[in-house]
Structure formats: C-alpha cells, structure tokens
Chain A
Amino acid sequence: MEFAELIKTPRADNVVLHRPFHQAVEGTLCLTGHHLIFSSRRQDNAEELWLLHSNIDSIEKRFVGSLGTIVIKCKDLRIIQLDIPGMEECLNIASSIEVLSTLDSVTLMYPFFYRPMFEVLEDGWSSFLLEQEFELLSSVTNEWRLSYVNKEFSVCPSYPPVVIVPKSIDDEALRKVALFRHGGRFPVLSYYHQKNGMAMMRSSQPLTGTNGRRCKEDEKLINSTLRSGRRGFVIDTRPLTVAQQARAKGGGFEQEVHYPQWRRIHKYIERFNILQESFIKLVEACNDQSHNMDRWLSKLEASNWLTHIKELLTAACLAAQCIDREGASVLVHGSEGTDSTLQVTSLAQIILDPRCRTIRGFEALVVREWLQAGHPFQQRCAQSAYSNSRQKWEAPVFLLFLECVWQIHRQFPCSFEFTEQFLIMLFEHAYASQFGTFLGNNENERAKLKLPQKTMSLWSWVNRPEELSRFQNPLYEANSLVIWPSVAPQSLQLWEGVFLRWNRPSKFLEEAEKERISIITYNKELQARVNTLRRQLAEMEVTVEMLQE
C-alpha cells in the first residue's frame, strides 16, 4: 500500500495552530505517511511541530463557513486545534489523518520506516538479556537455573524463550506445570532478594476448575522456593469471589489442602475497562476548564484513579513486606498474569531493589517484567483517554505502574537516578514511538515481526550520553536500603506531570528545575576546583620544602 494514496491534500498553507498557553501561530501544514508536520516561518520564532499519526487518539472536525477546524487529541493527552482554510482541504486532511492514525497492520507503523540520525553506540535489542541477569544471580545463589523449555514459544506463547526457574525442577515438569496454569504461564522467578534469599515468583492462575484439579509438579515447583518449616504467601490480585467464580471457567486458585505451606492473600487490583473508564474520566476532569473547586474535587474522586493507585501501591508494599520483613517467598498472580501481576512484581522491586532505581536498572526492569514477561503492550496501548473505541483490551496498565513509581519517587526524591521526565518519556513511547520496543504483545510476536532486525530499539537511543543527561536526577545519591512509601491518601497526589502537562504553564516549574541543577552543578565544580588547588598546593609545598633543604 502506498501512503501517498491516502493523502489527498499533502499540504495546506495559512493554517493556524492553537495550543493552551501558547499564542496562536500561522504556518504550513504537511502530511506525510507517518507525520503531521506544522511549520511556521515567523521571523522571531520559527517553529516546527512534528506529530506521529500513531500518537493521534481522536480527531474532530467542524466548519464555520469555509473555515474548517480540526481538533486533534493525542495519546500523550495533548490537545491541539488547527484552523484550515478551505472546506475540501480540511476534509481531505481530516480523513487522511483518520486513516493514517488507525492503520491496523503493525508492519506499516513508523518504526519500520524510521532511520535513526544518530550513531548507534549500543544495540538496545541486546542490552538486557536474561542471561546477564542470571549471571548476576548465580554469583549469589545456585538454587536457580535458566530454562530454554520455551525456546520455540511452544510451552507458553506469551513467555520469552528463556526463563529462570528453581534448579530442582526439570523441563519435563515445567511442561506439566504449564498445562496446569492459564495460558501456560508457569511460575518463574521474578526477583531474588539477596538480603535473605527469598524469592518472588509470578505466574497465571492455576487451572483447578470446579473439581479441584491438582498438579503435583506445580506444588513441588513453588514449594522448592520455601525454606524448611517456613510459609510462603500467594498474592492473588483478584478478590476471593472473582477467584472462586473463575473455577467455573476452568481457572481457580491454590487451595489450602494442596498448598498447606502457602497463605493466600487476595488484593484486588482493577483491570481492563474499569481502569480505562477511570482513565477517561480523570482526563475529562483535567480538561474541565471550570473554576469550580467542588466540581473538580468531585470529578477527581469520581474518576477513582487515585483509588487504583493506592490499591496497587498497597499490594506492592505488601508483597515487598512479605519478602523483606516476613522473610517469606511470594508468588503473585491474577488471572492471566499479564497485567496486575506485573504491576505488583515490578513495583515491589522498585521498593526492595536499589538497582531498579537507577536508569539502567529501571530499563532492565521494564524489559524483564513487562516486555519479556508478555504484557500485551500493543493491545493495551492501542488507544488512550480520548478514544471512542472502548475495546475491552485497552487499559492504562503500564501508565498506572509508571504513576506508582512517580508516587514513590515523590516520597524519596533523592533515591532515584532518573527524573520524572524519564517516566513521562516511557509513557509516551509506550503509546506512540519511532522505536520498535513497545510493538507487539510478547516476545513471540516480536520475533515473528523481526523487530530487532527491522526496527531501532528505544534503548539504543535513550542510553546515549546526550539523551541520558536529560533524564538524570541531579539530587540522586545511591540509597542501598529498602524504601517504604506511605500509601495514606494524604501522601498520594495526582501526577500533574502527565495529567496537567499540557494545561499548566510550565515555565516556573522548569525554572525551578534549572535552579536545582545549577545549584548542584556549581557545587560539583567547586569541589573539583578545590581538589585541584589542594593538590597543586601540596605539590608546591613539597617543592618549597625541597628548596629549603
């Protein structure tokens, strides 16, 4: 298919761009296969706006006479308005955008056409291999092994080819366990707590069904992570009633009779359309221009967004607490084990593991616990808060995770190597990107699409020194401890950086950030100078002494 066929009017002049907190600008609008480009050539400030079609969530058009107006709402929550003279031009442009922003074939997406303008220093596709992770692990324990049982994606289609499992369990047993777990997602290692040797595993629900099926291999697998005489915790992210109902559909939960060493805790975490509805309501509230305080607060409350944040953080803290404080191993799962399960396991690691609070460590966490673990990014992030499609599989699961990280970041502003901007960048790229990293729903699909060969990895770009410097937190100093966030409502706030991002004047906050950086840079400079002088002085003193002698 040629994109040119879809673009009837590739260019329009005298278009006026409106954005909140910016003056309206007049300029030229161009459409290409993947971008909407607006450029103004005003002498005082020429500027260009490049918008990926895949970033467009919805588009509205209206006419006053022959002046057409299109309102574009983006997945990163930005809203822009374009006034386009000429009814035909406007209609053409609107319909082209509509088609180009909803292409259903992945291989037509921009990452397959994008050619980087930068030199690739390190191929991000191979930056975070599970083998490296395992090497680190084997330096502290030998209770685990790498398994290639899923090499052909035949045991579990949504798992990566390599997983870490208890050493005592062989591949044959894993195959049996896979048959006992929803979608074949047998329990694998998610995190190993060096401090006390406790493990966090994740899986999907067991397929006990109504007649209480059991699987000895499954029991053996998870029991092998327990110390003798100690109990473990199963954190089920569904309420008990839902877990019980799941039995009718062949699902279920670990029953006490078969898992006497495990205590089950149900921590309800919302998923799917309830989450998506909440997201849509929150964004609606944030775009409500009314000055009425009560209305704002009641809309914020009605969106329930912060409730989800609080519940999720609480569940993650609980998992971390079981591991670090109770000295118990933990198994986390919900139904499929691809959404709330991953939220809980990855957040618990932020709390427990200082490495995950570094830039590189966080990237590794996203790769390990989200991409490789088979969170269906393409389905979940197909549409954002402005879409009318309301498909069952769309949900801001990853955004919710990022916001929880931000909440912890806010409470421990000196313990993270990255800034809020880093999290916002990940949010943007999960929804629309020139990179192939977030395409596909699991490693299986990514391999079939040959993404590593055909597209550029986000990490190849982010991990270049000039990009990294934008995301480095000037206040960071490594903190080797477990960080326990407060989950009280008073301690949680709306993530303004995402939800009010386009609605608030950013000047003053940016100035504050600059000031923070300059205070710290100046300090470091002085330190370096003082050290140099000290050295010089010491050297000279030695020379003087020698001369005196």
Chain B
Amino acid sequence: VENVRLLDRFSSRRAVVGTLYLTATHVIFVENGSETRKETWVLHSQISSIEKQATTATGCPLLIRCKNFQVIHLVIPQERDCHDVYLSLIRLARPVKYEELYCFSFNPKLDKEEREQGWKLVDLSEEYNRMGVPNNYWQISDVNRDYGVCDSYPTEVYVPKSATAHIIVGSSKFRSRRRFPALSYYCKGNNASICRSSQPLSGFSARCLEDEQMLQAIRKANPGSDFIYVVDTRPKLNAMANRAAGKGYENEDNYSNIKFQFIGIENIHVMRNSLQKMLEVCELKSPSMSDFLWGLENSGWLKHIKAIMDAGIFIAKAVAEEGVSVLVHCSDGWDRTAQVCSVASLLLDPYYRTMKGFMVLIEKDWVSFGHKFNHRYGNLDGDPKEISPVIDQFLECVWQLMEQFPCAFEFNERFLIHIQHHIYSCQFGNFLCNSQKERRELKIKERTYSLWAHLWKNRADYLNPLYRSDHSQTQGTLHPQIAPCNFLYKFWSGMYNRFEKGLHPRQSVTDYLMAVKEETQQLEEELEVLQERLANLQKSQSGNNKVKSKQQDRSKQFGLYTSNNSLANTPQEYSNDLKSFPSRSPSQGDEDSALILTQDNLKSSDPDLSANSDQESGVEDLSCRSPSGGGCLPSEDSGKDSDEAVFLAG
C-alpha cells in the first residue's frame, strides 16, 4: 500500500510518508525519503492488537500495538486498503499452527552442527551438577521419564533420596496438575534447598500420606534444620477460595514440622490488567507529572513487582541465613512460583548473575518446569485470558536489582530487553509451546535455532562494564532494601517506552564505558607488542655494541626481523588503529568514528533484532545509544521537534 503516513506520537509535523508492505512474516514500512529510506520492520508475532479508528479527512488510521511495547500509528489513504490491511494483519498476527511461526522459516545461515552446538550451550544436568546434586540427599528420579506422572514437568526431576517412586506418584495425585514437589535450587553450603510444586488438593480437610511423606523427605534432605517453610505465593483470600474447589493449601497440623506462610502476589488476570493500565499511562500524549504518577500508582504495577521481589527476598533469606529449606507453590506452580524461585536463586547464587548463568536460570525455572510460554505470550491464537506478562515481571525484578547493585550483574539492561523481545518474537525455538513434552513432539531442536547461542555469540554487546568477577557485590547473597524510602522502585522506561528514544538519557554511560574498555584492551595488546619490540631492539642494539665485528650480519638479521614486524604493525598503522578507537569521544559535533563503531557493533550484534524492530530508529536511535550522544545531533532535531510540542502544550 502506498502513500501511507506513519505518525509520530508527539508531533503531527513529524509524520513520514512511505509504503507499507505485508510479507509472510513481517509488516514493513519503508519511508519515501530518497536518501535514507528508513525502514520499520515488525514481526507479526509481535503484534498484540490492531485497532482501526474512525476515518478522517486524511485517511483511515490504523493503530498497531506490539508486545515489545512499540506502538505504530499509520494513516492509510483509502478506507478499503485499510480494511484489507486490517483483516490480513488480524489473520497474520494470530497464527493457529506452530508451523506458521517465524522460527520455522528463520534461517541464520548456520549449518546443522552449529545449530546443535547452539542447543547444547545451556545444559541443565550440568547445572544440577554445578549445584552439587545428585549427592547424599538428592537424586535424579525417572518417574516422569515418559511424562507419565506429570506432562508439564521435565523428564529429569531431582527429588530427595528418601522419596520413593511410590511417594512421588502418591504426592503427585494430591497436587494440581500432578505437579509434585521437585528441586529447583540446592544450596551446597548448608544443604538448604528451594523446591517447587502446585497447590495441594486439600479442600477443607483432605489429606494425603504420601504428600506428607514427601514434605518430610524434603526436610530430611536438610539435616541442619528441623522444619521447612511452605510458601504459598497467593493472597490468602485466593487460596481459601480454592479450597471450595477441592484445592487449597497445606494445613500445618497435618504436616509435621512445616511453617506455612502466605506472600500475596496477585494472579495473572490482575497482572494483565495492571500492565494494561500502566501502558495506557505510557501512551498518554503529554501527561502532567501527576497524571503520570497517579496513573502509575493506580496501575499497581510497581506494587506487584515489589510483591514478587519481597517473596524472593523472603526465600533467599530463609535459605541463606536460616539454612531452612523452602517449598514454594501458587495454584498451578508455573507462574508466580517460577517468578519467585528464580528471583530467590538470583539473589542467592552469583552464578545466575552472569550471562551464561542467567540463561541457565530461565531454562531451569521457566522453560523446563513448564511455564506456559505459548499461552502467556499469545504466540498462537488462543484464549486472551491466558495472556499475562509473567516473565516480563521477572525481567523487571532483575532490572530493579541491577539499579540497586550496579556491579553485581555481568549483563546489562539491553540483554534483558532483547530476551523480552525474543520471548514474543518466536524467531528462536526456545520459548515455543507450553511444556518440554510439546517441544519434544514438535522436534524444536531439529527444526529451529536457539536464542542462547545467538545471544552468546554477541555477548560483547550485553556486558555490564562495571562487572568484575572478583568484586564484593559479585560474591554471595544479595540483600536488597525493600522499603520504598530505602530503595526506589523505578518506572522502567527503557522497557516500556523502549521505542521512544527521546525519553531516554541521550548519552549512555554503559556504552561509553564499554567503548573505553574495548579501547583499553586494544591498548593492552599494543603495549605488549611495543614492549616486545622494544626489548628486541634493545637486545640487538646491545649486541651491536658488544660484537662489532659481527655487526653487519646481525643488523642484517635484525633488519629482516624489523621489516617483518613492520609489515605486521608499523607505527602508522597504529595511528590508524587509534583513529578508529575514539569510539567514545562524546564530542557530538564531529562525525566521530564512535558512532560508526557502535553502529557496527550493534549491527553485527543483532541483525535480526534490528531488522525486526530497531530499523525504524536507524542511525538516529543508534546514536542515541552511542555514548557519544552523537547524540545530540538527533537530539537536537528530535529533541526540538518533539519537545517543542511538549513545552508549548503546558
């Protein structure tokens, strides 16, 4: 469709005219502007809603909201075209079969072996070994080998040694969806563990001997403690209501030596509405400060984030400080339980704060334990009531922690944002389906690529420059502050206003420091080479002085040597190198190589991502990110135009 206008949220004067293309996988908008021909690519799977608004004199407006929080406002001249686009998009954005998803057609030009290597990057049995199981207290159980006991669990499950198959099966029958208690995290230092399950089918009075034995077995696996915590992450009212349906929570009287604890996190429906409300606030045209703060409070979003964090902190404290094992559940044990277990693990174990460890953590607590990615993130057309930003909230908890502990994480904010993007993009197979069983049936590993390998390959872009493996913040358990007056839970504009570059800091400290570190590394290498050459020269010089008779031979040799060397790197070449360094001079005026360098980096780093989503912002957005705030050129333009509207509006 031609002559489509892409509107800018802040100012109608910045609308651009271009052509809209629909392909099998993407919506593409190409600007007419002759030089840049800026392109905006949006994957169909990112589309969360399409809204056709009333036709106006200028055409028919179409509003596309994306799951990565991009909002695209198009105006199509002809009503009929608009309607066609609308209908096509509705169909394209809601695939009914897995095979329609992008990952089955996405080909990053890797051979079979590379693909297999990619899938092997994250290996969970290796991870359990790292934690220190199997050992005297924990063993791997094969009861679920063919998904016979629980179809949403993985085949390999770690359980206490004293829990026999009989006990496991018995317990599973007493738990929602047969999700029996299984090991999530084991603390080598003091034998305390975090286990997870679903709610018991206790109703008002039902009991199950095997389930009681199962909890007893978990306690016994931690000889240092004479009780375990059972943490129900639901609000008490919700849990009580479940009793009427024959479900519910553990009665302390029936289980020996448990301490039962509610930590109220709301359910997926509340969270979905909360996000919706917060996004409405983000979309306000020119909100006043109180509109914004009031809307933020009213959405309840930060309150929910804090609730998840509080639960994680409680569990981490029980494990690390009291040495007590914890069993965590909610209703089905695949949403709130996943959030809370992974936050607790992250607080407890520095390994999960590394890039590799974080991938492992998501693979362990989310992918393998049957978090329903397909339902929650609406990959296939399904019940809209199943959709909820569960893992988004976890990622935000991580970001809030990064704000509080700037040196503790190996990765940076961009890493989290790109993971969020790919959870919805369906470009990689990792997050397809609702369980391991379904993924195996679909032969995901043979037919698609792994996101982790892709991120790992570009890890240089995701590094936190402040991270040092020997830093005090890197070690041991993190103890976050919880009161708002001690630590500010902030609105994450990097995520929820990700595509509104104008709102973000114009110069990125992270990128700046990364560029400095890169330069430092090159300097270190150069220093070594220089020192070596200097040493060689000195040697040969002293040789010259001592043995004058052999001078000619020697200098010949030496001559050869230097010439070889000089081929490799002459001073001139260094200075060329140096020219390409100043990746960091934030002197925004000059066309600094900085810009180019960062741009290259990003391009190489995530071609797919930038093709899919970042294209729109193109150079402008790169320079916004570039430390050089190269910044300011775009910010002068964009800043001016967009902000002008804002200033005058007031």
Contact = CB atoms under 8 A, between A and B. Distances in A.
Interface of A: 267, 285-294, 296-298, 300-301, 304, 306-307, 309-311, 314, 317-318, 321, 325, 410-415, 475, 477-494, 496, 500, 503-505, 508-509, 511-512, 515-516, 519-520, 522-523, 526-527, 529-530, 533-534, 536-538, 540-541, 543-544, 547-548
A413 B466 CA distance: 16
A516 B509 contact: yes
A544 B517 CA distance: 35
Interface of B: 282, 286-294, 296-297, 300, 302-303, 306, 310, 404-408, 465-466, 468, 471-473, 481-491, 493, 497, 500, 502-507, 509, 512-513, 516-517, 519-520, 523-524, 526-527, 530-531, 533-534, 537-538, 540-541, 544, 551, 555, 558-559, 562, 571, 574, 584-589, 627-629, 631-633, 635-636, 639-640, 643-644, 646-648, 650
A483 B534 CA distance: 46
Contacts of A500: 485-488
A528 to B, nearest CB: 10
A179 B601 CA distance: 63
B502 A486 contact: yes
A-side interface mostly: helix
A292 B307 CA distance: 10
A465 B636 CA distance: 35
A414 B489 contact: no
A494 B488 contact: yes
Contacts of B520: 519, 522-523, 526
B294 A515 contact: no
A520 B516 contact: yes
B636 A490 contact: no
A411 B512 CA distance: 14
B343 to A, nearest CB: 16
Contacts of A488: 286-287, 502-503, 646
Nearest to A410: B505
A328 to B, nearest CB: 14
The 3 closest A-B pairs by CB, nearest first: A484-B639, A489-B292, A296-B484
B513 A519 contact: yes
Given A293-B303, A314-B646, A411-B505, A530 B587 contact: no
Given A307-B288, A318-B647, 6 more contacts: A291-B484, A297-B297, A415-B586, A475-B513, A487-B643, A505-B481
Contacts of B303: 293-294
Nearest to A489: B292
Nearest to B301: A293
23 contacts: A287-B485, A296-B485, A297-B484, A304-B289, A307-B290, A314-B646, A321-B640, A413-B507, A415-B586, A415-B629, A481-B588, A483-B632, A486-B503, A490-B500, A508-B404, A511-B407, A511-B473, A516-B513, A519-B517, A520-B516, A544-B540, A544-B541, A544-B544
Contact of B406 (A297, A512, A523): A512
A356 to B, nearest CB: 16
Contacts of B586: 414-415, 477, 479
Given A307-B289, A475-B509, A477-B587, A538 B531 contact: no
Nearest to A305: B289
A543 to B, nearest CB: 7
A318 B287 CA distance: 18
A479 B507 CA distance: 11
A529 B527 contact: yes
Given A508-B407, A519-B513, A533 B530 contact: yes
Contacts of B507: 411-415
A525 to B, nearest CB: 9
B650 A306 contact: no
Contacts of A516: 466, 509, 513
A505 B505 contact: no
Given A412-B506, A477-B585, A523-B519, A482 B530 contact: no
Contacts of B491: 490
A349 to B, nearest CB: 17
**By CB atoms of chain A within 10 A, which of B491, B506, B558 has the most?**
B506
Contact of A301 (B287, B293, B302, B558): B293
Given A301-B294, A490-B292, A491-B503, A291 B571 contact: no
A269 B149 CA distance: 67
Nearest to B284: A489
A199 B538 CA distance: 63
A540 B541 contact: yes
A522 B505 CA distance: 26
Contacts of B588: 479-481
A288 B485 CA distance: 6
A287 B484 CA distance: 10
A476 to B, nearest CB: 8
A294 B297 contact: yes
Nearest to A291: B483
B289 A310 contact: yes
B649 to A, nearest CB: 9
A410 B632 CA distance: 14
Contacts of A410: 505
A18 to B, nearest CB: 16
Contacts of B648: 318
B534 A527 contact: no
